[in-house]
Amino acid sequence: MEDLVIGVLGGGQLGRMLVEAASRLNIQVAVLDAEGAPAKQINLVASDKHITGSFAKAADVEALAANSDVLTYEIEHVDTEILEKLSAQQQYVKGTKWNRIQPSWQTVRTIQDKFTQKQHLARFSIATARSIAVDASRGAEAVKEIAEQLHYPLMLKSRTQAYDGRGNFPIKSAGDIEAGIEALAGRPLYAEQWANFTIELAVMVIKTAQEAAKPDGADDEWWKSSTLAYPAVETVHEDSICKLVYAPARQVPRAKREEAQDLARRAVATFAGTGVFGVEMFLLADGTLVVNEIAPRPHNSGHYTIEACQMSQYEAQVRVVRPDLASTIVNGSTEMVVPAALMLNILGGAQADSHLLVVKAALSVPGAKVHLYGKGPGRPGRKMGHITIVGSSMSEVERKMHPLIQLVDAVRAERSKPTATAETTLAAAAALQLKNPTPPPAPVVAVVMGSDTDLATLKPGLQFLEEMEIPFLVTITSAHRTPQLMLDFGKAAAGRGIKAIIAAAGGAAHLPGMMAAVTSVPVIGCPVKASSLDGLDSLLSIVQMPRGIPVATVSIGNSTNAALLAARIVGTSEARVQAWVERHLQRMAEENLAKAARLEAGGWRDYQRVESWNK
C-alpha cells in the first residue's frame, strides 16, 4: 500500500497544495493538466507519471488512470463518462474493496449540474433556496412564469460549468430577463429564489466512509460516523470571487456555527465516496441556514487550514482517498490550533507583476504566510496566490492584514486603468490607508460597574490595564436599573472576543453574579466599599455564589488585583501579556529583596520605608 499513486484530475493551485501535503508523507501524485501546470512544477518525484492533456478529454483521463492506483479531483468539471467506464473496468484498488475513484464519479456527476445537486439535497431534506429549471425552448417566457412563483428579485444560474460567480445573473425585474438569457446563452439554466442573507459561511467536510446516506432516513445518524467538519468560516466575496475568509466566522454565535457544521456534514453524507468537500451556505436574515452549493474537492475557503488546523484540507484529501490512510483521520483532526485565522486572496492586476506588490508588503508583516501558485504573469482578476495570518484573536489578525487589504483594493481599483503603474498602485493604497486607517485593537477585557460612583474604585485597575497595554472597554450597566442591557452585554461578550470581565458593585452587588450567569467568559468581582458595612456586604454577596456559577472575587476595593487576574487570564492565550505578568512578579521579588538588604545593612532604627511601585 505504501507505493499507491494518487492520480489527480487537474493541476492548478489546489493540486499544487495537495502535492505539497503529499510530499511530506512520501506519497506520489500523478497530475493530469497542461505542461508546466502549478502542481507539476513542484512534483519532480512523480514526473514520469504525469500526463500532459485535459481532464475533460477521455483519452487523457485513461492515460492518468493507467499511471495511478487511486483517482481524485482538483476540479469537478471533468468527463464523468470516462470515469464511469474506468470504474466498470476496474472498480477497486487491487487487492482491496476500496473504490479506485474517490469521491465516486456519480457524486461528481450529480454535483456538476447545480440544479440536479439541489434536487439531490432536497431528497434528503437539506435546506436550499427554492430552484426551478428553465425550459430552454421557451427562454424568457419560461423565466417570467417562474418569477410568478419565486417573485423578484431572483438569480438566473447556469446549471453547468459555473464557478467563482461565472454563470450567475441577478434578475431584479422583468426588464432584466432578456439580458440574463443573453449573458448565459448556450447553457442549461435554472432560476433560484433570492437568498436574503446576512453572511456567507463555508464549512470544509471530510467524508471518511465510501457509502452514502439513504434518502429514506433509515439511519439518521449516519452523517455523524462518516464525516468530520472543519470550523464554520465567514467568506467575503468581491466581483463574485472569494476575497477574505475569517476563521472562525465573526459575530456568529458558537451554537449557530455548530449548526452550520452539522448541516454541512448531513449534506456531504448523502454523496458516495470519500474525499474533502467544500460546502458554501447562507445565513439568512431570519437566522436560518441554507446550503448554496457543494464542491467535491478542496476549496478556496479552506486554504486557512494549512496554518490554522491540526490537519490541512490538502493532507486530508491525500489521506482520505487511500484505503490504508482513510481510517487514520480521527476526531480532533479538523480542530484549529490557534484562536483566529484570516485568509486574503491575491488577484492579478493591471501589470503582469502587480500582485507581487502585495507579496512584497506581506513579507514585512510578522506571521504572514504567503502562498504563490506558480501561474506566471498575472492577469486582471486571476487568482495568483493567497496570504494567511493566524493569531491569538480576530482583532490581532485583522489589524495585521488591514494594510494588505488596502493594497489588494488598490490593485483592483487600478487594474482597469491603461496608465496604471506600480507607483500609482502604491499611491492608491496609501490613500486608502489614510482614509481607512488600521482599527485599534479590539478590547479583550470588559470593565463594568453598576454606578458611576464605582469608577473611583476601578481607576487603579484601569491604570494597570493601560500600563500592560491590554485593550479594554469600560461601561455602566446596572443589575437593577438596566437589567436587560446587562444580560445582553453578558451574552454577547464571548462573541465580541472578550476574555475576562471585571465587574464592580457595592451593596447588594448583584452585577458580577448576574453577568456570570449568562456568559462563558470568566467574571472577576470587585467589591466596592459602600456607605455602610465597609464593603463587607458587597464582598459576601459576590463571593457567596451558588454552585455552578463561579465568580472570582478580589478583596474589597482591590481593582489592582482584579486587573492582574484579568491579565493572567488573557495571558493564557497572549504571550506578550503573560510575559508582562512574569516581569511584574520578578519586579516585586527584586523590590522585596532590595528592602530586605537595606533593612539588614542599616538596621531597623535607621530604615526608611520606600513606597512600593504599586502604591
> Per DSSP, which regions of 260-332 are E strands?
275-284, 289-295
Q: How many CA atoms lie within 13 A of 145 on its CB side?
A: 10
Mean pLDDT of 263-289: 97
Grade residue 161 by pLDDT with cuts at 50, 70 and 90: confident
Mean pLDDT of 333-359: 96
pTM of the predicted structure, to 2 decimals: 0.91
CA distances from 516 to 255, 317, 331, 486 (A): 19, 42, 31, 11
Mean pLDDT (the chain) is 94
Question: According to the model, what pLDDT value does residue 164 have?
Answer: 67
**What long-range pairs does 325-334 form, CB within 8 A, spacing at least 24?**
326/208, 326/274, 327/208, 329/206, 329/208, 329/228, 331/228, 333/206, 333/228, 334/204, 334/206, 334/228, 334/229, 334/230, 334/231, 334/305, 334/309, 334/310
513 or 2, greater pLDDT: 513
Residues 53-98: tens digit of each pLDDT: 999 899 999 999 999 999 999 999 999 999 999 999 999 999 999 9
Residues 291-317: tens digit of each pLDDT: 999 999 999 999 999 999 999 999 999
Q: Name the DSSP class of 504.
A: E
Cα 489 to Cα 455: distance, rounded to the nearest angstrom: 19
Residues 163-199: tens digit of each pLDDT: 766 789 999 999 999 999 999 998 999 999 999 999 9
- Contact, 166 vs 240, CB < 8 A? yes
Q: At residue 557, does pLDDT exceed 90? A: yes
> Per DSSP, which regions of 136-273 are E strands?
154-158, 168-171, 189-193, 197-207, 227-229, 233-238, 241-247
Q: What is the grid cell recorded at 567?
A: 491579565
- Contact, 232 vs 201, CB < 8 A? yes
Question: According to the model, what pLDDT value does residue 46 have?
Answer: 84
Q: At residue 615, does pLDDT exceed 50? A: no
Q: Name the DSSP class of 57.
A: -
- Contact, 260 vs 281, CB < 8 A? yes
Question: According to the model, what pLDDT value does residue 167 have?
Answer: 85
Q: At residue 543, does pLDDT exceed 60? A: yes
Of 1-5, 416-420, 591-595, the one with minimum mean pLDDT is 1-5
Buried b (16+ CB within 10 A) or exposed e, 176-191: bbeebbeebeeebbbb
- Contact, 301 vs 204, CB < 8 A? yes
**What percent of the chain has a predicted confidence (pLDDT) above 70?**
98
Distance of CA 479 to the CA centre of its chain: 36
Mean pLDDT of 126-136: 94
In terms of phi and psi (left: phi > 0; alpha: psi -120 to 50; beta: otherwise), the region of 469 is left
Cα 317 to Cα 296: distance, rounded to the nearest angstrom: 10
Question: According to the model, what pLDDT value does residue 282 have?
Answer: 97
Residues 325-335: tens digit of each pLDDT: 999 999 999 99
Residues 192-205: tens digit of each pLDDT: 999 999 999 999 99
Question: According to the model, what pLDDT value does residue 29 have?
Answer: 97
CA distances from 68 to 18, 63, 105, 220, 277 (A): 16, 9, 16, 36, 22
Mean pLDDT of 379-395: 95
Residue at 466: amino acid letter? E
Q: Order of strands across the sheet with 445-449?
A: 472-476, 445-449, 500-506, 523-528, 552-553
CA dihedral 300, 306, 311, 316 (to 10 degrees): 40
- Contact, 267 vs 126, CB < 8 A? yes
Mean pLDDT of 127-137: 94
Of 206-220, 351-365, 513-527, the one with minimum mean pLDDT is 206-220
Cα 419 to Cα 380: distance, rounded to the nearest angstrom: 14
Q: Order of strands across the sheet with 131-133?
A: 131-133, 189-193, 154-158, 168-171
Cα 231 to Cα 337: distance, rounded to the nearest angstrom: 11
Cα 419 to Cα 417: distance, rounded to the nearest angstrom: 5
